[in-house]
Amino acid sequence: MSVLSEAPGRLTPDRARSLRRANFAAFALLVVQFGIGTYVNLFVPVPSTDSGSGFGQAISAGPAGLTIHIVVGLLLILAAIGVLVQSLRARRPALIATAVAGLVAMIGAAAAGSSFVDSGSDGASMTMAALTAAGLLCYGAGGYLLAPRRAEDGQDPRHAP
């Protein structure tokens, strides 16, 4: 029996499909963000004038790679909020937990990114990478929990009487 068939609330097939797509979109955007972040970390020097200036200054006056990385990060936070809202509407505790953890990971990565721009700290860079991995795990788990399941008799257990 799946987590979805035991949890309270109503998860219609359309809502499950929409939430599965949202989890996949967040997962895919995180993979892209990881690649951009790796590129920025290795090849884009952060000017000392950006140190301590915050996201706004880094976006408007920073190198293009850093600007793209920040903007995609902000989009990821919006995507994480979207996944959380859909999970709350589905009223599935496991999905809500993965969505909350994913959002916390995205906010934490943004905070670590701000710290990295300020200090250039290797620890802040590692924190961003670790929180990206945590986000990937959260959105991958959310997608797994929403994957269509087939019972042995060919019936979808979510629609069993």
Here the CATH number for the domain that contains residue 113 is 1.20.120
**How far is it, in rounded angstroms, from Cα 105 to Cα 4?**
24
Domain residues for the domain of 50 are 11-147
pLDDT at position 88? 94
In a domain, 118, yes or no: yes
- H/E segment holding residue 36: helix 13-43
In a domain, 102, yes or no: yes
**How far is it, in rounded angstroms, from Cα 161 to Cα 112?**
48
Residue-by-residue pLDDT tens, the chain, 161 positions: 444 443 445 788 899 999 999 999 999 999 999 999 999 989 988 776 555 666 677 778 789 999 999 999 999 999 999 999 999 999 999 999 999 999 999 999 999 988 888 888 899 999 999 999 999 999 999 999 998 876 555 555 555 44
Single-letter amino acid code for the residue at 74: L
DSSP summary character for residue 158: G
pLDDT at position 95? 96
Q: Answer left, alpha or beta for residue 50, where phi above 0 means left and psi between -120 and 50 means alpha.
A: alpha
For 125-142, b/e burial (b = at least 16 CB within 10 A) is bebbbebbebbbebbbbb
CA distances from 45 to 31, 106, 116, 121, 133 (A): 22, 23, 12, 13, 24
Determine contact, residues 60/24, Cβ cutoff 8 Å.
no
pTM as predicted: 0.83
Q: How many structural domains compose the chain?
A: 1
pLDDT at position 48? 67
In a domain, 73, yes or no: yes
In a domain, 152, yes or no: no
Report which of 128, 84, 130 is spatially closest to residue 103, judged by C-alpha positions: 84
Identify the residue whose tokens are 């590692």: 126
In a domain, 30, yes or no: yes
In a domain, 98, yes or no: yes
**How far is it, in rounded angstroms, from Cα 154 to Cα 141?**
24
User: How many residues are listed for the chain in this entry?
Assistant: 161
pLDDT at position 58? 75
Identify the residue whose tokens are 């069993």: 160
